[in-house]
Structure 1
Amino acid sequence: MKVVIMAGGKGLRFWPRSVEAMPKQFLTLTSHESMLQQTYDRFRKHMDVSDIYVVTGSSYVSLVHEQLPSLRPERLIVEPEQRDTGPSLGLTARFFLQQQLDDVLVTTPSDQYIPDDQALMAALLEAEQIAGQGESIVTLGIVPTRPETGYGYIQAASDPALGRAKRVLKFVEKPSEQRAKELIMEKDMYWNSGIFIWKPSTIDKNMKRFQPDMWSKLWSVDASFTEVYAALPKISIDYAILERAKSVYTIPVHFIWDDVGSWTSLERIYPKDEYGNLALGKVYVLETSNSIIYTDVQKVIAIGVEDLIIVSTKDGLLVCRKADEQKIKMAVNLMESDPPSS
C-alpha cells in the first residue's frame, strides 16, 4: 500500500492567514508542525518513507521540499497548475501506471487533524483488502458527532458479506443546518472524510468511463502538456468519479477527525475561555463572548462583540459572523477577481 498526500489546495476559508503564497497545508494551525508535516509524520510512523508520495502544484514544490526534507524528488507528483482533485488524482494515477505500478493507493488530504494514527492505520489496512479486489473503491466514513454543514455525507447500507465495511448508496452534498440535523439521525449516515483507497487501475477504468476527455488529455505527451492541463475543468474527484462509480464502500470509523477546513474548526482543537472565546495571539477582550480572534502581527482589542471571527495578519483583516464563515471563500474569490481601484 502506498500513500499519496494531496497538498495543492489554496485553503481560502482560512483567509487571511491562508493565502495563495502560503496556503493552510503549510501552516502550523494545530501544533508546532504544519498540517502537511503532521500528515506525513502520521504515516511515516507506520510505513517506509519510500511508500509515501505528495501531489502538489508547481508553485509549492519548494515549500514541500523545505517542510519535508526526507521526501525524495521522485516521490513528488507535480501539477502544472491547480485544478481541483479530479485532475490531480487523474495525474496521480497516470504517474503510477506509467511506472507499471498498481499497488493500492491511499489518497488523503494534507490538512486533516487525526490524533490517533494507529486507529487510522488499522482502518486503512482493512480498506486495503477490499480495494485490492476488482474495481472496488473504499472511503473512510466518519461517524458524525454533530449536525455539520461544512462536510459532505455518505449514506451506506450494511452487507453481511462485507463485515464492518458497508456499501455506499449515495453521496450527499453539504447540507443546510436543518438538513444536517435530519441526516445525523438517519441510520448508516457518515461524514465523507475525503480519504479514498483504490488502485491506479481502478481510477483508470473509472476515468475512461466517466471522464474520457479529461483522461485522454491527461495522457497527452506533446510539449504543450502544461497548457493542456491548465485547460482541464476544475472538478472534484467526488463529482468526476465517486458519485457515479459502482463498487464503492465505506468503513465507519470512530476516531477523532477534523478536516480543519475553517476558522470555527479550531474551536474543536483549542480550549476556549469562560465566555466561549478562542483568542490566539496578542488578543485582549472585554464584554466579548463566543468569538474567535486571531492576530500574528499587531495587538487586537475586542469590546462588546459576540459570535464573530476577527483575524488580523500582514495579508489582511477579516471580520465575519461565525454563522457566515462558509461565505469567506466566495468573498475572497470576489476580492481577487475585482481588486479595488487605486
Structure 2
Amino acid sequence: MAGGIGSRFWPLSTQKFPKQFQDILGTGRTMIQQTYDRISKMIPNENIFVITNKEYVSLSHQQLPEIPEENIVGEPLMKNTAACNLYMANKIAEINPDATMVVLPADHLILKENVFLEKLELAFQQASANDYLVTLGITPTRPDTGYGYIQFVDKKDSDYYKVKTFTEKPILELAKSFLESGDFLWNAGIFIWNVKSIFSAFETHLPEMTQHFTACEYNAESEKSCIELIYPKVQKISIDNGILEKAKNVYVIPADLGWSDLGTWTSVFENSEKDENENSINIKSALTYQSQGNIIHVKNNNKAIVIDGLKDYIVVDTEKVLLICPREHDQLIKDYVLDLKSLKKGDHFM
C-alpha cells in the first residue's frame, strides 16, 4: 500500500512527493524501495503488487522498475485502506483463486529483516491452512499515543494468539495501562490472509463494498473504467474499522522487528544516528552550540546551518518551507498543514 500523503511528516512529505518515495534515513534507498527489497526475498517480482494513488503510478514505476508495469495500480480517489485491500484481493484472486497474500505499508522501517521473514512464513502457514485473518503485532517499547493497539487472548506456548480487541491511538493514561497489562501489541498494519477468507469477511461486514467491487472484471481492459465508476460510491473506511475490529477470526503473531512506521519526526529522530549532544543532523555543514536532542533536516546539502540554544526541537528546511517546532508537538504538524492551506496560496507549500 503506497497511496498515503504522510502529512505528519510535512514539510518533507508533500502531496506531490510523499514520504514513501523519499530516502528518509539516508540509506540510499527510499522507503518503498526498502519495502520491496525486504519482501522480494520471499515473493517473486511477478507476484508483488503496488496500489497507490493514480498520481504516483509513474513515480512507483521509476522507483521499482523490477515490478511488472501492470502490477502497479492507481486508485482514482483516496478511500482509506478497506477499498484498496478489496481491490487488490480481487485482482490477485483472478490470477489465483486460492492465493494467500500479505499486505504491507510501503513506508515502514523494519530493522530485523530475518525475524520479519520468519514471522511472515509462520503467518502464511496459518492463513493458508485456516480461515484466519492474521496480523503481525509489534512488542511495544513505550506508551505511544500515535499507534493503534491490539489486545490478545493469552494462550501459553504458542507463536500466535486470538485477538480480543483493537484500540485506535489511545490517550496516554490508557497507553500506559496497556503496556503494564502485558497483553497488548502495537498494530503495524501488516496483514496476511487467504483471498477466500478476506472475501468472506467483506461479505459479512462490508457487503455493500463487496457488491461494488463484484461489478468489475479484473486484469481486463474494462477494469480501469469500471474502477473509476465505482470508486466514488465506495465507503471511505479503514480495513481495521471495517473488518478487523468486527471479525471473530483475527489472530496476531507477536514480533520484535525493530519496527517503526516513521510516521512522525520524533520516530525518525529515534531511528537516526546522533552526535555527542543527541542531535540528529542530516547534513555535514551544520554547527550547533548548547543544543541537545534536536532533529535537523535540511534538503539543500550546500546550505550552512547554525543553531544555538535549542533543545528537543524539530528543524526542517525545504525549498519552500521552514518548520521549527518542539519535538513534543510533532502530532500537531497535521494542524499546521491545515492552517497553512487556509492561507492564500497555502496549497503552494503542500
In the TM superposition, residue 231 of structure 1 has moved relative to its aligned partner by: 4.4
Measured at CA, do residues 132 and 334 of structure 1 come closer, stay the same or move farther in structure 2, by a change above 3 Å? farther
Instruction: Tell me, yes or no, if the aligned pair for 1:77 and 1:95 is still in contact at 8 Å.
Output: no
Letter in 2 for 1:259: D
**Per-residue deviation, residues 14-62 of structure 1 (Å, max 9, x unmatched):** 1111111110110001211000111101122233222222111111111
In the TM superposition, residue 215 of structure 1 has moved relative to its aligned partner by: 2.2
Root-mean-square deviation (CA, aligned residues, Å) is 2.0
Tell me the equivalent position of 2:219: none
Instruction: Tell me, yes or no, if the aligned pair for 2:315 and 2:323 is still in contact at 8 Å.
Output: yes
Q: Are positions 1:61 and 2:66 aligned together?
A: no
Name the SS of the counterpart of 1:185 in structure 2. helix
Tell me the equivalent position of 1:125: 121
Give 1:318-333 correspondences, 5 Å limit: 318-333=323-338
Give 1:298-337 correspondences, 5 Å limit: 298-336=303-341
In the TM superposition, residue 287 of structure 1 has moved relative to its aligned partner by: 2.1
Tell me the equivalent position of 1:339: 343
Give 1:1-342 correspondences, 5 Å limit: 6-30=1-25, 31-159=27-155, 163-221=158-216, 223=225, 225-281=227-283, 282-297=285-300, 298-336=303-341, 338-340=342-344
Farther off after superposition, 317-326 or 281-290: 281-290
In the TM superposition, residue 224 of structure 1 has moved relative to its aligned partner by: 5.9
Farther off after superposition, 147-156 or 32-41: 147-156
In the TM superposition, residue 170 of structure 1 has moved relative to its aligned partner by: 0.4
Instruction: Tell me, yes or no, if the aligned pair for 1:283 and 1:294 is still in contact at 8 Å.
Output: no
**Per-residue deviation, residues 176-211 of structure 1 (Å, max 9, x unmatched):** 223222211112211111100012222211112111
Instruction: Tell me, yes or no, if the aligned pair for 2:61 and 2:72 is still in contact at 8 Å.
Output: no
Name the SS of the counterpart of 1:16 in structure 2. coil
In the TM superposition, residue 147 of structure 1 has moved relative to its aligned partner by: 1.7
Instruction: Tell me, yes or no, if the aligned pair for 2:11 and 2:316 is still in contact at 8 Å.
Output: yes
Separation in structure 1 between the aligned mates of residue 310 and residue 152 of structure 2, nearest angstrom: 42
Name the SS of the counterpart of 1:109 in structure 2. coil
Q: TM-score, normalised by structure 1?
A: 0.91
Name the SS of the counterpart of 1:42 in structure 2. helix
Instruction: Tell me, yes or no, if the aligned pair for 2:45 and 2:68 is still in contact at 8 Å.
Output: no
Structure 2 stretches of 5 or more lacking a match? 217-221
Measured at CA, do residues 94 and 47 of structure 1 come closer, stay the same or move farther in structure 2, by a change above 3 Å? closer
Letter in 2 for 1:177: L
**Per-residue deviation, residues 140-194 of structure 1 (Å, max 9, x unmatched):** 111111221211111101235x831111000112122232222111122111111
Measured at CA, do residues 227 and 193 of structure 1 come closer, stay the same or move farther in structure 2, by a change above 3 Å? same
Q: TM-score, normalised by structure 2?
A: 0.89
Structure 1 stretches of 5 or more lacking a match? 1-5
Letter in 2 for 1:250: V
